[in-house]
Every structure is written in C-alpha cells, then in structure tokens.
Amino acid sequence: MAEISGARILARNLEQQGVEYVFGIVGFPVVPVAYALQKEGITFIGMRNEQSASYAAQAAGYLTGRPQGCLVVSGPGVIHALAGLANAKENLWPMILIGGASPTDQNGMGAFQEEDQVAAAKMWCKYAHRVESHDRIPYYVEQAIRTSLFGRPGPVYLDMPADIIDGRVDEETIGTAPTVGEPPRTHAEPDSVRKAIAALKGAEKPLAIVGKGMAWSRAEDEVRQFIDRTQVPFLASPMGKGVVPDDHPLSVGAARSHALQEADVILLAGARLNWIMHFGAKPRFNPNVKVLQLDSYPEQIGHNVPAEVALVGDGKAIMGQLNAELADDPWRYEAETAWRTSIAEKIAANEEAVAGMKADESAPMNYYRAFRDIADWLKPDDLIVGEGANTMDIGRTQMPNIEPRHRLDAGSYGTMGIGLGFAVAAAVCNPGKRVVSVQGDSAFGFSGMEMETICRHQLPVIVVILNNNGIGGGVAELPEDGPPPPSVYLPTARYEKIAEAFGAGSFHVEDPADLRAALDNAAALEGPAIVHVRLDPKAGRKPQVHGWLTR
C-alpha cells in the first residue's frame, strides 16, 4: 500500500488544474506543501511578505490566463494575504490562496495562529472552503479553480489544516477530478450586434473605450481589426493600454478628457464606468452619450449609465461578431470630421503644454523630464509596472504600451504596494523579457524588501524610483522644530542602496543629464537593478484646464 500526504495530493491536483506558479511564505504548517509543489514541477517563489505574494499570484493569473497560487501560513499569514484577495476581487483577476490552518483537533482551543480563515477570506472570495478530508482535495481544488476562472474571474480560498497537510492516506483511496478547461466564450445576441453597428453608424463623435476585460479575454487581434476597419478613435483604460498599440494613429490617449467629454456614442468594451472612468457622469461625459456596452458580466450592464445596447458575452467572441457584421456590410467612420480635427488639436495642445517641462534641464528634475528619458529608453516589449500617485498617473501618459498585458498598475482598487509583487510575477511569467517597474518613493516603500526575492531569483527587473520625497510631494529638508509632516519621508533617503545589499545594480541620479546613462548602465547588467532618481519635491502634474479634472 503506497501512502500519500495531503500536501502531495494538493500539489498534484493544483498541477493537474494548470497551476504553474505559487508565490508565498512558508512556515507552520505549510512547509511540506511548498516542497510538494516543487516535486510536482510547480515553480515556488518564496517572498518576503504575504501581501506581495498575493499580489504576485493574481498578476500571474492575469498574465497567464489561469489562476495561479499563493501559499501562506495560518493566522497572520492569511490575514496579510487578504490584501491581495481584495485587490484581485476589484481587478477581476483569478488567483487561488491556500492557507495553512491549525490542526482540527485543536479547534476552538486557542491553538497557535488559530483563526476563522474561511470566514475572513469569504468577504473577498468567489469561493472559500475548508478541506476536511484527504479524499475531498481533488473535488475542492477543481471547484476552486473553476470558480476562479469562469464567469467573472476572481480570487478563491482553500483552508488546509495541519493534520490534513501532514496526514497520510492510502493512495488508492484518492480519486481524481476532471481538469478545468478553458472558460466558454459566449456570443452576444445577433440582434444586439446589429443594433450596436447601427448606433455607431449614426454617431457624430464615436469613441471606443478599451478596458482590461479585453486584455483578459485576449481580444487584441479582434479589437485591432475593429479599430482599423471602422476608423473609430479609441481610448485605452490604464491596463487596457496595449490591446491596441498606444502609438496607433487613432489613439486619443493624449486627449482623454476631451474625448470623454464630447463623445456621443461610446463602445464600452471590457471596461467599467467606475471612478477610473468618472462614473460616466457629467461634466466628464456628455450627458446624452449613448453607451454600447460589451461585458461578460450581465449585472454590469447599465451600471451608472443605462446601456443603449447590451453586448453580453466574451470580449474576443463579440469583437469577432462585430467584425463579421462589418465584413458583410462595410462601414467606416468618415476620414475628415470636426471630431477628428478637435481630437488632433487637443492632442497637439496637450503635448505643447508639457513640452517645456520635458525640456527643463534643471536639477532636481520634474516628472516629465524624467519620463522623457525613460520612455525613450524603454523597449517595445518591456513589461511596465507603474505605481505611485503622480508617478503612475503621469507615467501612464508618457510611457507607451505596444503589446497587450504589458502594463500592471494600482488598478481598480488603487492599491499602493503592488509594485514589486507584480514585477516578480511579470518576470516569472515572461521569461526572456525585461520588467521595468517605475514607482514613487512612497509606493516602493510598501514592498521594497521584495528586492531580495528579485535578486535571489535573478529576475530581470529594473526598478526606477522617482523620488519626490513623500506622498504627493515632500520637502527638501525636515523642519528643525516640530515633527516631520505626515506626508514626508527622509529627504536624504538613498533607496538604491537596497539593491546594493543584495548584489544588484545600484544607480543614483541627481542631474537630468545623467539619467539616460544610468538607465543604460542598469540595462547593460541584464539583471536586477534600482535606478533612484531625485525629483523636485514640489514637482507635479501639468496644470489641468478645469478644477474638476484633478478630482
């Protein structure tokens, strides 16, 4: 009779269900799980904080299209990882969190790190369950993976008590569960496809908004074809960037506010009209805008703005339907319209507005000057991670994305602290590619110790820290009398020295004239590095035309 442990059964089933990467921190009682994962050929990345590990797992899920794992210890380990569950729930990204739990025969006794982890996880999970026997492991893993992936993707949780992890049973008593396949790609009602095209044909100022739902559904070929076919201008959401390349002539990214405010018909494809899109409300949007809403999640239809046409189903499938309809009955938005002209003028005016800051060679430098060199230096297939208030917002406009799923940022939940966890996942899931994580100093602080993880695994991650000394800007020196202001950090901080501690490249830039060389030298190492860039603590965004634009 061959015996098998719960840890091994779990690892086998995760592997069977397509889990390739697990990020986590070991300790009681999950050490055997991590070893079992490695035995099954799953890559285990040991990290330094469970928050980062749970962020890494969901980014890996988004990038690979399958739920990836996070493994944590009982009690505090699970609690730290809740941050990732909440972020994954908001971003609609799949992941499976596996928490060790105190032994079942100590339930309620005040066991070491005892916690009602299933209840804690439930608030953010689509599915959360305790594994109470060895023979149920295949069933629970299948349920969890399928629930995470199908419908609207999201996080799931499995609770693994110590006695299940360590306990051994006769291998023959353990059955298998079916392997979860690709989620079904449902099509929209043919009538709604015709109605959507008819509405676009009647538009004076059409606009397509391309969100990360389209990136998730791998709809880039179909969306690119649709834009090229119809010549409708498009706006990418922050992580929808790259589904259609940012350098496409129909991108209105540099005239975002104008395009949103004026458009009369919007094809809203895999994006939500939440805070990122200003709820679709005036004065940001035309109050009479007709929304043609493409979403896989029926409950999303009409959220904040009633939909003129509902295209319910999978993004790739429906964009294919729209293209097929257009192939039968070709239509393209006119080449010369007042709408196109106004967008072009706005783009030119916005570029003009930042040209002075881009050319400003004074030290310490401003954001736009820093991004001028960074954008120039980036390679088209770099994975870009962006985090921090100004660093992320300005970086989004200044760093182009050419490929889909090559940008990760604070996302729908606006989470600070995702940076290095996401960078680890981006590097692990894309062997051979370079990851560039451009972070503010405050953002970097949340997960800076993951630099050790990056160095231990020799991941090609270049962290560029744009240091304005604090949250939304700081001071050049701490006040001599009185406590440091709440939003300010140590003005003399030299974050690049953290890289030195782990043998990575370490560069410090004060003068804008030295920035490009520092970036090139970091790149030449072909390994991890930090480029620390001292900014003017008062540097900010370009002045906005309306006060409400910065709200």
Give residues in contact with ligand ADP (CB under 6 A): 92, 152, 211-213, 216-217, 237, 239-240, 270-272, 274, 276, 295-297, 300, 314-315, 412
Question: Which residues in the 432-471 window bind Mg ion by CB under 5 A?
Answer: 440-442, 468
Sheet harboring 43-46: ordered strands across? 43-46, 21-24, 69-72, 95-101, 155-161, 127-130
Q: Which is nearer to ligand ADP, 211 or 512 (CB)?
A: 211
Tokens matching residue 365: 């430098």
Instruction: List the Cα angle 24/30/32 in 5-degree steps.
Output: 110
Residue 548 touches which member of ligand ADP, Mg ion, none, C-beta under 5-8 Å by kind: none
Question: Shortest distance, CB of residue 467 to Mg ion, whole angstroms?
Answer: 6
Residue 442 touches which member of Mg ion, ligand ADP, none, C-beta under 5-8 Å by kind: Mg ion
Give, for 12, the enclosing helix (H) or strand (E).
helix 6-16
Q: Which is nearer to ligand ADP, 217 or 397 (CB)?
A: 217
Give, for 526, the enclosing helix (H) or strand (E).
none
Query: What character string, x for contact with Mg ion (CB under 5 A) and - otherwise, covers 382-421?
Result: ----------------------------------------
Is 366 near Mg ion (CB under 5 A)?
no
Question: Shortest distance, CB of residue 9 to ligand ADP, whole angstroms?
Answer: 31
Question: Shortest distance, CB of residue 490 to ligand ADP, whole angstroms?
Answer: 34
Residue 296 touches which member of Mg ion, ligand ADP, none, C-beta under 5-8 Å by kind: ligand ADP
Tokens matching residue 209: 């908004």
Give, for 227, the enclosing helix (H) or strand (E).
helix 220-230
Residue 58 touches which member of Mg ion, ligand ADP, none, C-beta under 5-8 Å by kind: none
387-414 burial code (b ≥16 CB/10 A, e <16): bbbbbbbbbbbbbbbbbbbbbbbbbbee
Question: Shortest distance, CB of residue 416 to Mg ion, whole angstroms?
Answer: 10
- Locate the DSSP E strands across 243-286: 265-269
Residue 213 touches which member of ligand ADP, Mg ion, none, C-beta under 5-8 Å by kind: ligand ADP
Residue by residue, DSSP assigns 37-90 as HHHTT-EEEE-S-HHHHHHHHHHHHHHHSS--EEEE-TTHHHHHHHHHHHHHHH
Residue 398 touches which member of ligand ADP, Mg ion, none, C-beta under 5-8 Å by kind: none
The dihedral built from the CA positions of residue 456, 457, 460 and 462, taken in this order, carries a sign that is negative
Residue 216 touches which member of Mg ion, ligand ADP, none, C-beta under 5-8 Å by kind: ligand ADP
Spatial distance between the Cα atoms of 173 and 409, rounded to a whole number of angstroms? 45
Question: Shortest distance, CB of residue 203 to ligand ADP, whole angstroms?
Answer: 21
Residue 136: how many CB atoms within 10 A of its CB?
Answer: 18
Give, for 24, the enclosing helix (H) or strand (E).
strand 21-24
Question: Shortest distance, CB of residue 273 to ligand ADP, whole angstroms?
Answer: 8
Question: Shortest distance, CB of residue 159 to ligand ADP, whole angstroms?
Answer: 27
Spatial distance between the Cα atoms of 438 and 422, rounded to a whole number of angstroms? 12
Q: Which is nearer to ligand ADP, 402 or 478 (CB)?
A: 402
Residue 240 touches which member of ligand ADP, Mg ion, none, C-beta under 5-8 Å by kind: ligand ADP
Q: Which is nearer to ligand ADP, 28 or 150 (CB)?
A: 150
Q: What are phi and psi of 155, to 5 degrees?
A: -80, 150
Residue by residue, DSSP assigns 88-120 as HHHHT--EEEEEEE--GGGTTS--TT---HHHH
Residue 494 touches which member of Mg ion, ligand ADP, none, C-beta under 5-8 Å by kind: none
Q: Which is nearer to ligand ADP, 239 or 305 (CB)?
A: 239
Residue 441 touches which member of ligand ADP, Mg ion, none, C-beta under 5-8 Å by kind: Mg ion
Residue 506 touches which member of Mg ion, ligand ADP, none, C-beta under 5-8 Å by kind: none
Task: Give the number of residues in contact with Mg ion, rule: CB under 5 A.
Answer: 4
Residue 468 touches which member of Mg ion, ligand ADP, none, C-beta under 5-8 Å by kind: Mg ion
CA distances from 18 to 11, 67, 68, 159, 425 (A): 11, 8, 8, 19, 16
Question: Shortest distance, CB of residue 277 to ligand ADP, whole angstroms?
Answer: 6
Instruction: List the Cα angle 245/251/254 in 5-degree steps.
Output: 115
Q: Which is nearer to ligand ADP, 136 or 407 (CB)?
A: 407
Spatial distance between the Cα atoms of 42 and 51, rounded to a whole number of angstroms? 21
Closest CA to 474 of 497, 448, 493: 493
Q: What are phi and psi of 463, to 5 degrees?
A: -95, 125
Question: Shortest distance, CB of residue 431 to ligand ADP, whole angstroms?
Answer: 26
Question: Shortest distance, CB of residue 443 to ligand ADP, whole angstroms?
Answer: 19
Q: Which is nearer to ligand ADP, 120 or 149 (CB)?
A: 149
523-542 burial code (b ≥16 CB/10 A, e <16): beeebbbbbbbbbbbebbbe
Q: For Mg ion, which residue has the nearest CB?
A: 440
481-491 burial code (b ≥16 CB/10 A, e <16): eeeeeeebbeb
Question: Shortest distance, CB of residue 414 to Mg ion, whole angstroms?
Answer: 15
Residues in the chain: 551
Q: For ligand ADP, which residue has the nearest CB?
A: 213
Q: Which is nearer to ligand ADP, 213 or 445 (CB)?
A: 213
Question: Shortest distance, CB of residue 195 to ligand ADP, whole angstroms?
Answer: 18
Q: Which is nearer to ligand ADP, 8 or 396 (CB)?
A: 396
Residue 278 touches which member of ligand ADP, Mg ion, none, C-beta under 5-8 Å by kind: none
Question: Shortest distance, CB of residue 453 to ligand ADP, whole angstroms?
Answer: 27
Q: Which is nearer to Mg ion, 14 or 498 (CB)?
A: 498
Q: Which is nearer to ligand ADP, 217 or 366 (CB)?
A: 217
Spatial distance between the Cα atoms of 238 and 8, rounded to a whole number of angstroms? 40
Residue 379: how many CB atoms within 10 A of its CB?
Answer: 10
Contact residues toward Mg ion (CB under 5 A) are 440-442, 468
